[in-house]
Amino acid sequence: MKEFDFIKQYLVARQDKDEQVVLGIGDDAAIIRPQAGLDIHISSDMLLGGRHFFTDVKPADLAHKVLAVNLSDMAAMGATPKWATLSVALPQLDEAWVRAFCDSLFALADAHGLQLVGGDTTRGDWAFNVTIMGQTPQGLGLRRAAAEVGDDVWVSGRLGLACAALYDHWNEVHLDDDVFTMCEAARLRPQARVALGQGLLTLAHAAQDVSDGFAQDLQHILTASQVGAVVNVDALPTLPELKQYEQWQQWVCAGGDDYELVFTAPATAREAIMALAADSQTAVTLVGKITADTGLKLIDASGEEVVLTHKGFDHFE
């Protein structure tokens, strides 16, 4: 299979119609025509084999993850995903593998109204880069720097599952089969909280997605907003079955790869946030409070302070 056949058959042929896309895949660049009154949000994520995924991963799972981690960035801004470019390095072009990868990629893209408008293909070690673009009304995007003292701290979905599955892969723990199945699903098929994020545009102050670990990612909000927070670790949503493992706090607070949203909002928005959670079919949990004292204080349900050995993931530590 040749590079250009691949591009023609699997990418060009599957472009949707989007009236803002003046020119899609197949030229030196794609052309989009922005809509007046909207801001464009841009984010890039690179995933490497052996680092972000096992290279024997199923192509459908890999495609899902490559796109979901980028959709999650749009969710964290409250942006509506619109366009993406995909750069791919693969050791070879196996047609069955490519077909499964593309089927999964376009299924997720279509579900979000996202159009692939360009990219690059090359032979090499497993590497995937997506640049995603989305839209919000001007000035409404959810930033990290907007948390206010007195805000509630919320988190979506459940934390720590992906990391627990990794620990099982590494033979550091052995999860029960049904628990492993749930954790592995969370690891392989993260659900970007796009609908929740869009709904939060007018409700939340600050937001961020949890990719490197809850504590570290919340800290980004705190630093950018020059505030602090107290978070109740026992209130952090996870699988109850994980709490029997001594590592559970580590997984939940610092595991990473969750792709949930952590966000802050005034207490007056609680009812609206719960209604949004129901509308967007996304669980949300109140886990703490923004404080004037800077720094992140983790406490347990008894009020004791919790100390983590690692706060999150640094790619070069």
Nearest residue (CB) to a second copy, 30 versus 105: 30
Q: CA-to-CA distance for 55 and 39, rounded, in angstroms? A: 37
Interaction mask 94-133, a second copy, x per CB under 8 A: -----------------------xxxxxxxxx-x-x-xxx
**Site residues for a second copy, window 220-239 (CB under 8 A)?**
224
Whether the CB-CB separation of 230 and 169 falls below 8 Å is answered with no
Whether the CB-CB separation of 233 and 134 falls below 8 Å is answered with no
Binding part of the chain for a second copy, among 48-56, 149-157, 169-177, 186-194 by CB under 8 A, reads 48-56
Cα torsion 26, 30, 32, 38: sign: positive
Nearest residue (CB) to a second copy, 119 versus 160: 119
- Other Cβ atoms less than 10 A from the Cβ of 11: the count is 23
**Site residues for a second copy, window 5-34 (CB under 8 A)?**
6, 22-23, 26-34
Q: How far is the CB of 194 from a second copy (least distance, A)?
A: 12
**Site residues for a second copy, window 191-220 (CB under 8 A)?**
207-209
Among 12, 15, 18, 87, binds a second copy (CB under 8 A): 87
Work out whether 45 is an interface residue with a second copy (CB under 8 A).
yes
Q: What is the DSSP letter of 175?
A: -
Q: Is 87 annotated as a binding residue?
A: no
Using CB under 8 A, count the residues that bind a second copy. 73
Work out whether 174 is an interface residue with a second copy (CB under 8 A).
no
Q: CA-to-CA distance for 189 and 183, rounded, in angstroms? A: 10
Q: Which DSSP helix (H) or strand (E) runs through 216?
A: helix 214-225
Whether the CB-CB separation of 225 and 144 falls below 8 Å is answered with yes
Q: Tokens in use for 301?
A: 């349900």
Residue 218's nearest CA partner among 156, 168, 140, 278 is 156
Q: Is 45 annotated as a binding residue?
A: yes
**Site residues for a second copy, window 261-290 (CB under 8 A)?**
none
Among 17, 19, 56, 92, binds a second copy (CB under 8 A): 92
Binding part of the chain for a second copy, among 49-57, 242-250, 263-271, 290-298 by CB under 8 A, reads 49-57
Burial of 29 (0-12, 13-18, 19+ CB in 10 A): exposed
CA distances from 45 to 42, 48, 74, 211, 271 (A): 11, 10, 12, 11, 34
Q: Is 144 annotated as a binding residue?
A: yes
Work out whether 57 is an interface residue with a second copy (CB under 8 A).
no
Q: Which residues pair with 156 in a beta bridge?
A: 284
Q: Is 209 annotated as a binding residue?
A: yes
**Site residues for a second copy, window 130-169 (CB under 8 A)?**
131-134, 136, 138-139, 141, 143-145
CA distances from 196 to 132, 152, 186, 275 (A): 18, 16, 18, 11
Q: Which residues are annotated as a binding site for Mg(2+)?
A: 28, 43-45, 73, 120, 209, 212
Q: Which residues are annotated as a binding site?
A: 28, 43-45, 52, 73, 119-120, 144, 209, 211-212, 257, 313
Q: Which residues are annotated as a binding site for substrate?
A: 52, 257, 313
